[in-house]
């Protein structure tokens, strides 16, 4: 099993982070993508085998009513709100993907995460928009992760991921992935005391890695760097070293 362990965002100074971890899920690309020069610098400063996972820009997945839009450098004009988010087949969403794709190119990112909010419900319209978006998306060899929130049933998620060649991203402490072969785990610290996972929680997360060929384990809680290092030590102790 290939085990990739890291954090959702630079939880440490970048130079220190590169020394301690081999993968990062970039959060800035979701809120307000960095300039190409910034992404190029990150890639040049990181070790050659370091992996960047890009979280797709919120203009693709989230609608302007989301509070996360407050972090955009320029507000979306109200008359255009209906043209953003939820994988809509609009020029605005396509342009947001082009921005995301260009960052992937600069970072040589092999994986892209698409996180949808609870408001992206399993309606007929949302299903159609999701299917059309991913069927038309040029992948260039990248693996695409979908982390749905809210009311989606596992059976439907499994069917969509299978049809659209997506990997079902989950918090393994909250639910099981419907994917096989590759697992993508994001540990959000829900129920973690004082923002840190317990030993039992880390053991449960490691157990959820069994049976997969490759697993990404990304921590997204208050003490994510410390928990990621604790998780790595546990994996090494039990004979599953990071690769």
What secondary structure does DSSP assign to the chain, as a single string?
Answer: -EEEEEEES-SS-HHHHHHH-SEEEESHHHHSPPPHHHHHHHHHHS-TT-EEEEEPPHHHHS-TTSGGGGGSSSPPPGGGGGGSSTT-SSHHHHHHHHHHHHHHHHHT-SEEEEE--TTS-S-HHHHHHHHHHHHH---TT-EEEEE--SS--HHHHHHHHHHHT-EEEE-TTT---S--SEEEEEE--TT-GGGS--HHHHHHHHHTTTT-SEEEEEE-STTHHHHHHHHHHHHHHTT----
What tens digit of pLDDT does each residue of 226-236 get? 999 999 999 99
Closest CA to 34 of 16, 64, 9, 15: 9
> What pTM was estimated for this model as a whole?
0.95
Calculate mean pLDDT across residues 59-88: 97
Model confidence band, residue 195 (pLDDT cutoffs 50, 70, 90): confident
Give CA–CA dist 85/150, Å, rounded. 16
Give CA–CA dist 111/149, Å, rounded. 20
Residues 6+ apart with CB under 8 A from 74: none
Sketch out the chain's domains with CATH numbers: 2-237 (3.20.20.410)
Rg (CA), the chain: 18
What tens digit of pLDDT does each residue of 95-105 get? 999 999 999 99
What tens digit of pLDDT does each residue of 29-73 get? 999 999 999 999 999 999 999 999 999 999 999 999 999 999 999
* Burial state string for 140-158 with b = 16 or more CB within 10 A and e = fewer than 16: eebbbbbbbeeebeeeebe
Give CA–CA dist 215/111, Å, rounded. 12
């Amino acid at each position: 099993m290939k085990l990739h362990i890291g954090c959702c965002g630079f939880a440490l100074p970048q130079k220190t982070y590169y020394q301690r971890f081999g993968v990062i899920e970039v959060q800035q690309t979701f809120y307000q993508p960095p300039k190409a020069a910034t992404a190029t610098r990150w890639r040049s400063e990181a070790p050659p085998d370091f992996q960047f996972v890009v979280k797709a820009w919120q203009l693709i997945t989230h609608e302007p009513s989301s509070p996360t839009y407050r972090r955009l450098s320029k507000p979306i004009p109200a008359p255009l709100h209906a043209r953003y988010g939820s994988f809509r087949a609009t020029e605005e969403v396509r342009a947001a993907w082009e921005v995301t794709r260009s960052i992937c190119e600069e970072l040589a990112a092999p994986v892209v995460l698409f996180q949808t909010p609870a408001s992206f419900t399993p309606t007929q319209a949302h299903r159609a928009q999701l299917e059309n978006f991913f069927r038309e998306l040029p992948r260039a060899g990248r693996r695409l992760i979908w982390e749905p929130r809210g009311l989606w049933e596992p059976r439907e998620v499994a069917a969509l991921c299978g049809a659209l060649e997506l990997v079902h991203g989950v918090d393994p402490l909250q639910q099981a992935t419907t994917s096989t072969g590759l697992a993508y785990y994001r540990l959000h610290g829900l129920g973690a005391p004082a923002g840190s996972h317990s030993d039992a929680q880390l053991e449960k997360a490691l157990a959820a890695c069994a049976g997969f060929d490759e697993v990404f384990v990304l921590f997204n809680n208050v003490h994510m760097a410390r928990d990621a290092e604790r998780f790595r030590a546990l994996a090494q102790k039990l004979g599953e070293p990071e690769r």
